[in-house]
Chain A
Amino acid sequence: MIELTINNKKVVVKEGTTILEAALQNGIDIPYLCYDKRLTPYGACRVCLVEVEGQKKLLASCSTPVTNGMVVKTETPRLNKARRAVLELLLVHHPLDCPICDKAGECKLQDLAFKYGPAEGRFTGEKRHELTDTESPLIERNPNRCILCGRCVRVCGELQGVGAINIIGRGFKSKISPAFEETLDCEFCGQCIDACPVGALGGKPYKYRARVWLLEEHESICPYCGVGCTVTYDVREERLIRARGVEGKGINDGNLCSKGRFGFDYIYAEGRLKTPLIKEDNSFKSVSWEDALGYVAKNLRVIKERYGTDSIAAIGSPRCTVEDNYMLQKFMRNVIGSNNIDSISRFGYVKAQIAIEMAFGVSSLPIGFDSPLNKEVILVIESDITSTHPVWGLNFLKAKRNGSRLIVADTRETKLTRHSTNWLRIRPGTGTALLNGIMHIAIEEGLYDKENAPKIPNFDSLRDVVKGYNPSSVSMITGIREDELVEISRQFLTADSRLVALTMVVGENTKGMNTVLSASNLIILIGEEPSSLQLPAEYCNTYGLFRAGVMPEPDGKDILSTLYNHGTTKALYIMGENPVVTFPDATTVEKALKGLDLLIVQDIMLTETARLADVVLPASSSLEKDGTFINAFGIEQKIKKIVPTVGDSLPDWQIIRNLARVMGTDIGARNLQALREELEEIRDKEGHLTLRFNPVRHSVTEETDGDYPLNLITGNLMQHSGALSVMSKGLSHAVADAFLQISPNDAKRYSIRDNSFVRVTSRRGSVFVKARVSDEVPDGSIFVPIHFPHARINNLTTISINGDPPITTVRIETARGE
């Protein structure tokens, strides 16, 4: 610890702390413009200068480390003069267009000029007349207001790992710009907007929408991925107009991705449901809640009587709150009397849960936001964490920056592979083979937990299985070089601390339950803590969904038998899900839904699935209701009602409670408080850690052949994940449509150019999609982001029953003349 004096106050801080940090930690304010605690000190703005006794020069407090006995002064006449001079200079060429600047009122330059600045400038100079970059979607750059603190550049390059902008030009002509002064085209995380202390960067959706002092500030939880970022939502006159990340708030501590920042406007999507709808003669008619619930109750009763309780099923939603899902399963179990309740996670996280339970005896392993940090080696298996869990992904980049070896096995080039130490470009779906190969080397070379592993059940059969995965066969399967495999394996196996991370996301098809089993085998074999396997849940409330009981246990039917093995289900209650767009093998799903006697869809919009429904119930979005989300790290977070509900819509749990009442059963939940008290009683299923090997062999659902020569890889984009993001206008500005990535060689082979329309055909159907020629995919594989309703990629995809990665093989042709 270091002891020093700041403004006559003795403070004690950790070694390596800078003067600025030491001051801030002790409630002493030092002004700054270019400092950002997430970034390495830059020392450019010169307003954080301080006087240190014994030093002739003024020192930049943001970059000067403290030393024992240091005596620091942060406010002296000399410093005031220096700061006044810097601010005076910054204002010489500044446009001073505060009256029309969206930043006015929360602008650091304004605030500091108010505190230190001269009342009048002594210099008059030409104003800068750079063009404002208004062409770019979502982010507008006004270089004339820029003070060149470089925070945007550094947030983009250093923290976000993108580097879309930098300073160009020298001296007075320096400015921030994308390469070659082109229009900004990046991943649109918008981190630069929050980082900008002045009005040089702004979110376009917010432009000219409000003076900041008219805004009400609310905090809630982002409705997208499992990270569960805390978002600060700014509301003006009951309308949500801006989302921000604020330092010090939530697990994300100020970071947000494009979905969190720009994706909130899905609540203003066209076609929000305002009233319940009942289908009559193939068209929907607005009805009152009484009529709608009466209709549902009557029909459910009829079906129950005619076909029995087992003919009714429900689908919950990891995007609805714990409360909503709890009420849905309670309705099914207590009112209908059926355990036929399941969710989309069947295609995603449930696979992981089953595998983890098989391997470790517990249904979930602790996932840590900071788990990637301070690991010697991190191995990521076929997962683009920077897309599926963007803000958590930042910690993987940070770990790499801090010196961890980041090994990423992935077919596609992703942000993670670009930042990796080693990129193993394996063939899609061959993660299991790779993991088995590593275990082969571990056993061959004795680099495993020799003391404990042999005592764990199935060790012998694991040894037998991985025996077949010698480097040459793994090289054959995965396509990576033998020596590369051996080298990487040794680096991993001999490291002091190791982490294996992967995701199990509905839209991704390169991993199956077996991949998780194989990863679990590896963790157990090398004697690492179970927490060294990091497999986060996908959605904002995937954990909450399970805690609420949305699982077909003990004897209910899961989605696979409800929708893909159709026959006995007559009525289906879907809450907050759009299976037609998000479930694999959409043709089968659609057929199943059409064959139902009664389809109830409860959602915020008239989705593709809702169009098939007999009755549609309007629900409130997560920003229009109170509730609880449990994130991938198991943290329970309250979401708050920030804007009024739309039309007659109600929170899902209320709709279900009301329906139960109409059906003559009171399932409690007079109000949210009562419901939460009830939920308090629920405990997660407890298991205890019992390790077990589950040897698996590499295999995928479909192998390429002459008819279907290409592997189709599906996945998320940074800007899109599932049915919600595509409703957002903001995110659609960034990426509006599906596209197909194809390697330059394959493109040549099929005479495909950028923007050609391509017909992609699998054994289950075909779709048309625009091509993008890109070396992000290797020859023989194409990538298509899933979830865009007008290019239904899920017509092509398949489910996997045996735990194999549900790889789909396809053929493609240009859609000329069609």
Chain B
Amino acid sequence: MKLRLEDLNRIREDYKRQNTLRRDGYRVRITVHTGTCGLAAGAKRILDAIHDEIDKSGARDILLRVSGCAGLCIREPMVTVEVIDKPPVRYADLTEDGIREIFNEHILNGRIVERSALVIGYENFLDKHPSQTLTEEKTSVPLMDAFPFYNLQILRALKNKGIIDPESIEDYIGHDGYQAAAKALLQMTPEEIIAEVKKSGLRGRGGAGFPTGMKWEFCSKVKSDIKYILCNGDEGDPGAFMDRSVMESDPHVVLEGMIIGARAIGASKGYIYVRAEYPLAVKRLQMAINQAREYGLLGEDILGSGFNLDIEIYQGAGAFVCGEETALMRSIEGKRGMPIPRPPFPVEKGLWAKPTVLNNVETYANIPHIILYGGDWFRSLGTEKSTGTKVFALTGALNNVGLIEVPMGIPLRTIIYDIGGGIKNKRRFKAVQLGGPSGGCIPEHLLDTPVTYEDIVQTGAIVGSGGMVVMDDTNCMVSVARFFLEFTTDESCGKCPPCRIGTKVMLDKLTDITEGRGKEGDIELLEDIARDIIDTALCGLGQTAPNPVLTTIRYFRDEYESHIREGWCKAGVCKELATFYIDEELCKGCGLCLKACPTGAVTGEKRKPHRINTDLCIKCRSCFMACPVRFSAVKIGPGRMVVRQT
């Protein structure tokens, strides 16, 4: 069936009618969050258990649905329960028994299971705040607008993520999906689309932050028989999962953004480049493409506008460098994924030497809203030069690990301490890593930096695609730098010597330092070669690869120096540079370290100070991590320290 605008609106209205609980005879709606995070945590078992319970109870008034990630990934599996006329209740950390209890208590009998409930209310989305729906009932479950993880976020790109069924196009249309595409195709000229996107100030969310409207404008002005619109779903930063979540929970928004972009630049063919390691994203995108084709939202004469576009998925083999635009295009061409020098820029000569626009998944996810609500609306959030919201994958030593979307300009501290709930296990914050292997580590004294493209760059890091890894004081910054260098060394395509060999010699140097072979002058040597690599490397991967090293040297130089001069890794990560011992005055003899020790190196009686036999110690840090922070009795000395055994 080829949809026209009327059909689109009819589907939307039908959907709204059917899914409003009252009208359709449903009393309860259960949404199981089945993103990769949820599934990994056991969402499938939860889903099966609910099916089972529904069958057993024979209830016919329960609407069971699935949707994508619910944001707080660390608390998956999660389920949202909506009882008619009541605000939704989100349950977390579910087990099979837990869900059966919830089914019997809450769903069948309307009694919220407070033990398992995380939060009550609606999330903030777009710029509305519908979460104020209060419940009359007295409950100890926090309300959405009093829950910092949720109430400091504003969902735009992610607005559908925990709500719609990603495998249903009707769901998407029911949530105003494809309205923006209809507007762009039927009411706007390409120039108007570009003007609106330019007005919004939207900058590429893939990391470089290039203004999207300008990119489209450049490409729209190039004459060509065919143009391409590409979507970069090759998210490859360690710790990043923003784009995966969008593709998994709201695949149609990507298609809609691409349709609008294609219309703006005059492209007739699109490719979504997704790494094959994202099978669920690939599956859901493919379903979305098939559905959109069936409804004539892809193909010829979309919505009767006379505009044609088809989109295909191209699965990448998981090379990090294929996230670089020219390498990505070579990969689609079936060639080895290696960057080529620019100019010519892809907007002039991209895929198969034709004008091509490549945007990131999150960028596309913002486009429909800009078209529907306008550029001014978009820039109502954020700062002058960094407008709108940004999605971050918040990971590391935090209490709340998950996927967040915040207005740009929000200070890092707010993200880490309020949304992120602070550092896990009451440890001390040490650094936050932004921008993955191209980014850098930001120390505590810069935590008030607002998250904008301009301000973050000042710190030596970059906003990047949105990976945000928080590290506590158990992290060795030299090892962190080494970790990222190891990643870029592995992922370098090998085309240009600075990246191919430069990252390798830097990695070798860092390995030397972490293994006790560091020498005076090594830090300066690293800084020098790093600058040469930045100056000479061919593409963004190489030019930014030294950033993690440079920022850690800049902010944690003392750690490098203690590694080199004192042979001492104070975090105890570098085995050769650490000796573990117990401060007998601080030790309360709780025995946790003794239990944790895998080799029997820790000895001691209950309530008496313990000791570590350094001959048996393998420096696994288990005792150190096990010792309660309030005691902090396990100490780390330099690698060559002699611990007197008494």
A residues sitting closer than 8 Å to B (CB atoms) are: 41-46, 49, 57-58, 60, 62-65, 78, 81-82, 85-86, 89-90, 92-93, 122-123, 125, 147-148, 150, 166-167, 169-174
Whether A82 touches B532, Cβ cut-off 8 Å, given contacts A123-B508, A171-B500, is: yes
The answer to whether B490 has its CB under 8 Å from any CB of chain A is yes
Residues of B with C-beta under 8 A to A147: 497
Residues of A with C-beta under 8 A to B489: 171-172
Residues of A with C-beta under 8 A to B491: 170-171
Q: How far is the CA of A735 from the CA of B319 in the complex (A)?
A: 40
Residue interface bits B516-550, CB-to-A below 8 A is 1, else 0: 00000000010001001101111000000000000
Option from A65, A82, A93, A166 in Cβ contact (under 8 Å) with B535: A82
Residue interface bits B492-521, CB-to-A below 8 A is 1, else 0: 111111111111110011000000000000
Are the C-beta atoms of A64 and B498 separated by less than 8 Å? no
CB distance from A393 to the nearest CB of B (A): 24
Whether A43 touches B494, Cβ cut-off 8 Å, given contacts A122-B525, A125-B505, A167-B336, is: no
Are the C-beta atoms of B341 and A60 separated by less than 8 Å? yes
Are the C-beta atoms of B341 and A81 separated by less than 8 Å? no
Are the C-beta atoms of A171 and B490 separated by less than 8 Å? yes
Residues of B with C-beta under 8 A to A43: 340-341, 496, 538
Are the C-beta atoms of A49 and B536 separated by less than 8 Å? yes
The answer to whether B343 has its CB under 8 Å from any CB of chain A is yes
Q: How far is the CA of A89 from the CA of B492 in the complex (A)?
A: 15
Option from B492, B508, B529 in Cβ contact (under 8 Å) with A171: B492
Task: List 7 additional A-B contacts (Cβ < 8 Å) besides A45-B497, A85-B532, A172-B489.
Answer: A42-B340, A64-B341, A148-B500, A170-B492, A172-B494, A172-B500, A172-B504
Q: How far is the CA of A660 from the CA of B414 in the complex (A)?
A: 106
Are the C-beta atoms of B336 and A86 separated by less than 8 Å? no
Residues of A with C-beta under 8 A to B338: 167
Are the C-beta atoms of B538 and A60 separated by less than 8 Å? yes
A-B contact pairs, 18 of them (CB 8 A): A43-B341, A46-B497, A46-B537, A46-B538, A49-B536, A60-B538, A64-B343, A86-B532, A89-B497, A89-B502, A89-B505, A92-B505, A122-B525, A171-B499, A171-B503, A172-B492, A172-B503, A174-B494
Are the C-beta atoms of A170 and B505 separated by less than 8 Å? no
Q: How far is the CA of A125 from the CA of B506 in the complex (A)?
A: 10
CB distance from B249 to the nearest CB of A (A): 31
Are the C-beta atoms of B498 and A86 separated by less than 8 Å? yes
Whether A89 touches B341, Cβ cut-off 8 Å, given contacts A44-B495, A49-B536, A173-B494, is: no
Q: How far is the CA of A90 from the CA of B495 in the complex (A)?
A: 12
Residues of B with C-beta under 8 A to A169: 494
Whether A170 touches B494, Cβ cut-off 8 Å, given contacts A46-B538, A58-B536, is: yes
Residues of A with C-beta under 8 A to B495: 44, 148, 150, 174
Option from B336, B343, B508 in Cβ contact (under 8 Å) with A125: B508
Q: How far is the CA of A148 from the CA of B505 in the complex (A)?
A: 17
Residues of A with C-beta under 8 A to B508: 123, 125
CB distance from B316 to the nearest CB of A (A): 13
Option from B343, B490, B492, B496 in Cβ contact (under 8 Å) with A44: B496
Q: How far is the CA of A60 from the CA of B496 in the complex (A)?
A: 12
Option from A44, A46, A78, A85 in Cβ contact (under 8 Å) with B529: A85
Q: How far is the CA of A58 from the CA of B498 in the complex (A)?
A: 13
Residue of B343, B489, B500 ringed by the most chain A CB atoms within 10 A: B500
Residue of A62, A89, A122, A167 ringed by the most chain B CB atoms within 10 A: A89
Closest 4 CB pairs of A and B: A174-B494, A43-B341, A85-B532, A171-B492
Q: How far is the CA of A85 from the CA of B503 in the complex (A)?
A: 13
Are the C-beta atoms of A89 and B494 separated by less than 8 Å? no
Option from A86, A148, A173 in Cβ contact (under 8 Å) with B536: A86
CB distance from B255 to the nearest CB of A (A): 31
Residues of A with C-beta under 8 A to B336: 166-167
Residue interface bits B308-324, CB-to-A below 8 A is 1, else 0: 00000000000101000
Are the C-beta atoms of B498 and A170 separated by less than 8 Å? no
Q: How far is the CA of A166 from the CA of B495 in the complex (A)?
A: 12
Residues of B with C-beta under 8 A to A122: 525, 529
Are the C-beta atoms of B504 and A125 separated by less than 8 Å? yes
Residue of B338, B489, B501, B505 ringed by the most chain A CB atoms within 10 A: B501
Q: How far is the CA of A63 from the CA of B341 in the complex (A)?
A: 7
Residues of B with C-beta under 8 A to A170: 319, 321, 490-494
Are the C-beta atoms of A172 and B341 separated by less than 8 Å? no
CB distance from B246 to the nearest CB of A (A): 28
Q: How far is the CA of A63 from the CA of B344 in the complex (A)?
A: 8
Residue of A nearest to B505 (CB): A123
Residue of A41, A150, A174 ringed by the most chain B CB atoms within 10 A: A174
Residues of B with C-beta under 8 A to A92: 501, 505
Residues of B with C-beta under 8 A to A172: 489, 492, 494, 500-501, 503-504
Residues of B with C-beta under 8 A to A45: 496-497
Q: How far is the CA of A27 from the CA of B409 in the complex (A)?
A: 53
Q: How far is the CA of A65 from the CA of B348 in the complex (A)?
A: 14
Residue of A nearest to B344 (CB): A65
Residue of B nearest to A33 (CB): B497
Residue of B nearest to A153 (CB): B336
* Residues in B243-281 with C-beta less than 8 Å from chain A: none
Q: How far is the CA of A57 from the CA of B492 in the complex (A)?
A: 20
Residues of A with C-beta under 8 A to B321: 170
Residue of A nearest to B490 (CB): A171
Residue of A62, A123, A170 ringed by the most chain B CB atoms within 10 A: A170
Residues of A with C-beta under 8 A to B341: 41-43, 60, 62-64
Residue of A nearest to B494 (CB): A174
Whether A46 touches B496, Cβ cut-off 8 Å, given contacts A58-B536, A85-B532, A172-B489, is: yes
CB distance from B67 to the nearest CB of A (A): 37
Are the C-beta atoms of B538 and A90 separated by less than 8 Å? no
Residue of B489, B508, B509, B536 ringed by the most chain A CB atoms within 10 A: B536
